Amino acid sequence: MTQETRKSDYFSFKKIASVDAGENGEKADFFVRTTEAEAHRRRFAESDVREILSMGGAFAVSALAPQSTWRAYCDGAARFRLAKARRKQLEALSTRAAAILEMRDADQVRKLHEDWRAHQMRRRLTIAAEYTRGKRPVDLSAQGLEHVKSSLKAGKGAILWANQFASQTLFGKRVLWNEGFKPVQISVEQHGFSNSSFGINTVNKVVLAAEDRYLGERLIFEKDDGAAVTRKVLKRLDDGALIIIGNNTFAGSSFVEVPAAGDTYVSMSTTALSMATRRGTPLHVMNIVETEPFQSYRVDFSPALNELAAPARPGKGRDNEAMAILALKARDCLLDGIRKAPEQFLGWFSITTSRFV
């Protein structure tokens, strides 16, 4: 089945398959995104000014203030423009929190929203501290890392599907580096806090440099070379590398949508799913939670999702049912992480409240 389903100013989308998968026969829809027009990237955005000020404050506080005061600073910074953010975001967050957390008390949702904003400030401050405090001592606990080590022994490499928690992009890499890994990160050009040309070349460079000290390599998906990056990834896997891919829809042009909880849905790129089903590459999910502000972090690694699902059939063509089963297993890991630390999950608004079609 192939049908055009939606168009935007820059993309057209086609549903290419719909399958019922998992123990409960949950519906998974597969889509392909095609570029119809070149998206205009702004040279400079108003938000860049706020990011420069925000990062400047983070650098000043991390350099001059004791760590015991950092939490209060982030809590205070999160209240800046809070009323406007509530008008734009609170209703949407309420719907998602009710479905996923069964949180229906308005005061609890407002507190969740404020804490969520504070964790975005903490992310900025921990990045700044990489420069002002060096590799400051933090407590990093890795739960389930033995599953990843076991997968790597097979010689096919392994994929870590990293969910979007506030501490993941920095401390998720650092815990792996501390364990002797040199992971390869699959990224997008606009990784960081800005999408403008100015921000990509200034603010985002600060983010990348802080993270890259804990990476063996970073491969970037750009607009025209997705296939070339995929070939590089496959080569690294053949060499036994550990690949980190963010669990979002940006890596590649295909994605799958599955139910989350209640009337909510999540979409995931099929890049990692395809590699896991076609090659038999072990696919693990990584969640990270800050357990003590700026000091202690717990990183949870799942067993290989391939082992939890039906046996893979490497070498076969596109196996939508196998990918759907893995996507549902990944969804379960994501929901488990969200319920443990909802205020630290950055992707609340990537969860939708209706089917893409």
Measure the CA–CA gap between 56 and 52, rounded to whole angstroms.
Answer: 6
- Average pLDDT value for the chain: 90
Classify 232 as helix, strand or coil: helix
pLDDT in the model for residue 343: 98
Helix (H) or strand (E) holding 271: helix 271-279
Measure the CA–CA gap between 326 and 304, rounded to whole angstroms.
Answer: 10
Measure the CA–CA gap between 25 and 121, rounded to whole angstroms.
Answer: 40
Enter the pTM of the model: 0.92
Q: Which two tokens stand for residue 279?
A: 């090659």
Q: What is the pLDDT along the chain (357 residues), one digit of tens a residue?
A: 455 455 555 678 899 999 999 888 899 999 988 876 666 788 989 899 999 999 999 999 999 999 999 999 999 999 999 999 999 999 999 999 999 999 999 999 999 999 999 999 999 999 999 999 988 999 999 999 999 999 999 988 999 999 999 999 999 999 999 999 999 999 887 888 998 999 999 999 999 999 999 999 999 876 556 678 888 999 999 999 999 998 766 556 789 999 999 999 999 989 899 999 999 999 999 999 999 999 999 999 999 999 866 555 555 568 899 999 999 999 999 999 999 999 999 999 999 998 876
Q: What is the DSSP string of 162-227?
A: E--BTTIIIIIHHHHHHTT---EEEEETT-SS--SHHHHHTHHHHHHHHHHTT-SEEEEE-TT-HH
pLDDT tens, residue by residue, 323-357: 999 999 999 999 999 999 999 999 999 999 988 76
Measure the CA–CA gap between 144 and 149, rounded to whole angstroms.
Answer: 9
Measure the CA–CA gap between 2 and 15, rounded to whole angstroms.
Answer: 6
Per the CB < 8 A criterion, the answer to whether 157 and 237 are in contact is yes
What are the φ/ψ torsions at residue 302 (nearest 5 degrees)? -80, 160
Per the CB < 8 A criterion, the answer to whether 164 and 346 are in contact is yes
pLDDT in the model for residue 308: 66
DSSP 155: S
pLDDT in the model for residue 166: 96
Q: What angle do CA 106, 81, 87 make, to 5 degrees?
A: 40
Contacts of 7 (CB under 8 A, 6+ apart): 13, 36
Break the chain into its structural domains and give their ranges: 67-132, 138-350
Measure the CA–CA gap between 58 and 49, rounded to whole angstroms.
Answer: 14
* SS3 of 47-76: HHHHHHHHHHHHHHHHHHCCHHHHHHHHHH
Cα–Cα distances in angstroms (integers) from residue 338 to residues 108, 289, 293, 306, 341, in the given order:
15, 10, 18, 22, 5
Per the CB < 8 A criterion, the answer to whether 219 and 185 are in contact is yes
pLDDT tens, residue by residue, 73-82: 999 999 999 9
Q: What is the DSSP string of 235-250?
A: HHHHTT-EEEEESSS-
